[in-house]
Chain A
Amino acid sequence: MRSLPSELKAFLWAFSLTNRRSTWMLVGMVSSPVWAIGIGLTFAIHSPSVITEVSQVRALALGAGYFVASSTVLWNVGNFLVQAKDEGTLHSCVLSKGRIPVMMFSRGIVSAAFTGPALAFSYAVVSSLLGFTPSVSNPLGALASFFMLHLALVALSMIVGSIFLRMRHAWIVINALQFLLPATSGMIPPDLFPSDLRPAIALSPFAHVFEVLRRAVVGSPAIPTGDPELTLTSALSVAALIAVGLLTLSITERSLRRRAF
């Protein structure tokens, strides 16, 4: 266990270099807000009056940013095990005493350096395009809740990453998931749903985590839960997700030894 900090440091260093040099990331900085505009307008157009009201527009813009963030984390972290296996770096890391849970966790941490700006940028671009200043009602809270949301996405990627490893066409599932996950947890402002469907959205743990961010940015609640309870359930959800993610990965690491990497 003494080697954990140095192992983390090694992974963080390597992944921040590779991510910084990745053309996907570079291109993603430009394409993210473009996707965000498209996704936001696709849902808003059903009730065009949405794009004329400030808090609705902010919720919409933030939801579009959420889509961008979840998509990025799923590709950059969730797909990483598959990619590392194909490129042989998974073997090399394991043979150099690297542990898969530590590797994936570091990958997730590093990806925040991309998802954070991409989310913020998407939020800013969509709100400004629709004619509103992209303000944030509680910047510090927003930053903190962004990290919580990001960790939840990383945890999900750690869980599904192990499953992707066993699939021949993981890209299809990632494509579907990057859309399904945020769509069922707040990407589309709940105001756009008919009132009897709104409670269903609140069922996903991701909806709670996203709601914390939403309150910090937009200011108004969409789920009828008090602030303290919401923060508590979200924090617990994230902690549980991370724990399950790490556990899944260490089980995967062991089963990989049995079934051949």
Chain B
Amino acid sequence: MLRALAVVIEADLKTLLRTGELPLMLLMLGSFQFLFFAIGSVLRKEEQLFFQLTGYGDSVLYQIAGMPILFLSIGMSWAIGQFVIELGRGGKLEQLQTTATDFRVVIAGRFIVMAIMSLLYYLAITVPFIQIRAGPEVLSHFLPALLVLMLGFVPIFLFAVVVSVVMLLARTEALIDLVSSIVYTFTGVAYPITVFPAVVQTLASLLPQTILAETVRNIVLLGVLEPARLIPFIAVALGYGVFSYLLYSKLEYSVRRGGRYEVVTE
């Protein structure tokens, strides 16, 4: 089992690096982060008002600390989605079902690769930006933040699996656009979700990115980690675990019944 996983990870890492798409994707997200940083820095500020709304003093730091959660989530959904779609296109999904290697091992391999990449991204891009703006005193906050972030990869990964399976079942790749827009807009990565009506806020807190963004931001910028925050976080993670497992079983069942999984583009 572990050997299989190692083989899968090695192969996946090689192909991802060789096609160059993944490093380019990270580069692109990095430049987005730079753009938000640059534009945010020049725009007119109302710090008092912002503090009343959020409890944070600097709107630019607020966004730099939150955006990576969005990017990691989009990156994860993209990577898992692409992977599942490619498997479906080449008929490899059906093939994998008949080999000894469980499809779940292959997906887990992809997850580990993406988690490593995400950590590298966070360390190489986000940490320096925060350092530049917040000064050296936040340095000690990064270790606990990274630990929570790693914990957070699990629900974000499960969320990506749910998205991918729904994409396959609905036979449309375009859903990724809708999911990205929702994650961007309603998870409080760039502004507090308190600007929305109460119903929207409740729905938004069901997305794992919402809790993760707020928790990580709390640690990085304020040095505060309230263990109580981790409880809803773990509850949401478990919820996604069950949900993605059920969806996956449905997918497997449909594949066995001879369904074709060619996702339609255009």
Contact = CB atoms under 8 A, between A and B. Distances in A.
Q: Do A and B interact directly, with beta carbons closer than 8 Å?
A: yes
B191 A180 contact: no
Given A27-B174, A38-B185, A38-B190, A46 B45 contact: yes
A42 interface: yes
Contacts of A192: 43-44
Interface string A155-189: 00000000000000100100110011001000010
Contacts, number: 109
Please classify the interface of chain B as helix (H, G, I), strand (E, B), loop, or mixed, using the class held by over half of its residues.
helix
B177 A28 contact: yes
Contacts of A43: 39, 43
A64 B17 CA distance: 35
A42 B46 contact: no
A30 interface: yes
State the main secondary structure of chain A at its contact with B.
Answer: helix
A164 to B, nearest CB: 14
B142 interface: no
A35 B59 contact: no
- Candidate in B44, B60, B172, B186 with the most chain A CB atoms within 10 angstroms: B44
Contact of A38 (B60, B174, B184): B184
B53 interface: yes
Query: Interface extent on A, as a size class?
Result: 35 or more
Contacts of A83: 266
Contact of B42 (A176, A191, A197): A197
Interface in B178-227: 178, 180-182, 184-186, 190-192, 195
18 contacts: A23-B266, A24-B174, A31-B178, A31-B182, A38-B186, A41-B191, A42-B36, A51-B195, A172-B28, A175-B28, A176-B28, A176-B31, A176-B32, A183-B35, A188-B39, A192-B44, A194-B43, A197-B42
